[in-house]
Amino acid sequence: MPAISATLNAFIPVFEASFDIAYQQLAATLREAVDTKPGQGDRMRGQILDSLEATEYSERGGETVYTDLDADFWNVFPVAAEAANLIDEYDDEYLATITRPDSEIVQSHAAAIARQIDNKIVRAFTAPALRGKNGTTSSNFDTTNQRVPVDYNSPTASDANTGLNFYKIVRAGRILDDNEVPDDGQRFFGLRAQQMEELANDIIENHADNLSSLKMMPGTKVITEFYGFRFIQNQRWLVNDPVTGAGTDVASCIAWHRNAVKCRVWKDRATMMDILPERRHALAIRTVVNCGATRARDGGVVEVLCDQSP
């Protein structure tokens, strides 16, 4: 390949550095809110141990009472994804444009990878989880005990479909408390923009006594922390989820503890630039990721349904 190849090779490190900057700016919003670790092999597996109760004893020198462990396994399988573009013509000036952190290609690839990771995690909260030693047993999300209904308003108000309000947050916290999920600063609440606005307005207008525990971004109505939850807003949260039967125009907000969901990354974000002779030496830019996620602790995830009718 002629000198043009050497020119391209010189730009590869610049492109990689630019992508790293863009990726940090457009990073997945959920990656740090779940248990994320490297993956290896054809799948990752871990034990799910039920809580143990201690056995009282009073005799001296008696026999120890042993109990069987009631255990299951969570399983995460890798799924690869890519974002790729083919550029027909290029020169030094155009390559310099591509390798800038604010270039459309760098930004679009970084955003695509971030969305892919978020999508995997969002779906894992309520999708059937693969259990058992071989990951062949499917465990459905518990919509009876791990859900706040769309028509829940308060302990005393009559049932009627509503958006996100203060009392739905309280009920989600109660469900986690009933399951003895730690309230250790690792509880999160995921919601869309509409639910963020509804909740903020409801708290400010109707629950002023609770404002002392409310943390918001300065000058906005974007909640960052409230009632023991750290809030994460994005538009990846599901609407009309057919898996859990959420209903038409119903958004599925999620309350969870960080350790309730496992994300494993087999191949983290990687980018390549190559010249393709068979495509008239067009420039190919390709970004890949290989990851998976699953719900590991059923009691640590709560679906909060919110009316999102126009």
What pLDDT digit, counting tens, does each position of 145-155 carry? 999 999 998 88
pLDDT at 3 over 60: no
Mean pLDDT (whole number) for 193-206: 92
Q: Does a structural domain hold residue 63?
A: no
Query: Do the domain assignments include residue 209?
Result: yes
Q: Are residues 170 and 109 in the same domain?
A: no
pLDDT for 297 beyond 90: yes
Q: Is the pLDDT of residue 98 over 60?
A: yes
Residue 57 lies in a domain: no
Q: Does residue 214 belong to any structural domain of this protein?
A: yes
pLDDT in tens, 21-65: 888 877 788 999 999 999 999 999 998 876 667 878 888 888 888
Q: Does 55 map to a domain?
A: no
- Token pair listed for 22: 């863009």
What pLDDT is attached to residue 6? Answer: 62
Q: State the pLDDT confidence band at 5, using cuts at 50, 70 and 90.
A: low
Q: Are residues 280 and 248 in the same domain?
A: no
Averaged pLDDT for residues 76-95: 86
Q: Does 229 share its domain with 83?
A: no
Secondary structure letter of residue 146 according to DSSP? S
Distance CA 44, CA 265 (A): 10
Give the confidence band of 19 by pLDDT, cuts at 50, 70, 90: confident
pLDDT at residue 242 is higher than 90: yes
Judge whether 54 lies within some domain: no
* 214 vs 169, residue with greater confidence: 169
Q: Which residues contact 77 (CB under 8 A, 6 or more apart)?
A: 42, 43, 130, 135, 292
Whether residues 163 and 86 fall in one domain: no
Residues 152 and 282 both lie in one domain: no
Considering the chain, what is the average pLDDT of its residues? 89
Q: Which of 310, 303, 300 is nearest to 149 (CA)?
A: 303
The pLDDT value recorded for residue 265 is: 96
The whole-number pLDDT of residue 4 equals 55
Confidence of residue 281 (pLDDT cuts 50, 70, 90): confident
Residue 17 has pLDDT above 90, yes or no: no
Cα separation of the two ends of the chain: 58
Residue 166 included in any domain:
yes
Phi, psi of 76 (to 5 degrees): -125, 125
Judged against a pLDDT cut of 70, whether residue 2 lies above it is answered with no
Tell me: do 201 and 126 sit in the same domain.
no
Residue 59 lies in a domain: no
pLDDT tens digits along 113-123: 999 999 999 99
Contact present, 298 and 144 (Cβ < 8 Å): no
14 and 121, same domain (yes or no): yes
Of 12-21, 71-80, 120-129, 185-194, least confident by mean pLDDT is 12-21
Is residue 277 domain-shared with residue 214, that is, in the same domain? Answer: no
Q: Is the pLDDT of residue 261 over 70?
A: yes
Domain containing 23 equals 3-49+71-132+265-293
Q: 84-91 — which CB contacts under 8 Å span 24+ positions? A: 84/284, 84/285, 84/286, 84/287, 85/109, 85/284, 85/285, 85/286, 86/276, 86/279, 86/282, 86/283, 86/284, 86/285, 87/282, 87/283, 87/284, 87/285, 88/280, 88/282, 89/282, 90/283
Q: pLDDT: is 53 or 78 the higher one?
A: 78
The structural domain count of the chain equals 2
Query: 115 and 151, same structural domain?
Result: no
Comparing CA positions, the residue from 214, 192, 199, 197 lying closest to residue 167 is 199
Residue 1 has pLDDT above 70, yes or no: no
Q: Are 88 and 193 in a shared domain? A: no
What does the pLDDT read at residue 64? 86
**DSSP reduced 3-state for 105:** helix
- Measure the CA–CA gap between 126 and 120, rounded to whole angstroms: 11
Same domain (yes/no): 245, 145: yes
State the Cα–Cα distance between residues 31 and 188, nearest whole angstrom. Answer: 12
Q: Percentage of the chain with pLDDT > 90?
A: 58
205 and 243 both lie in a single domain:
yes
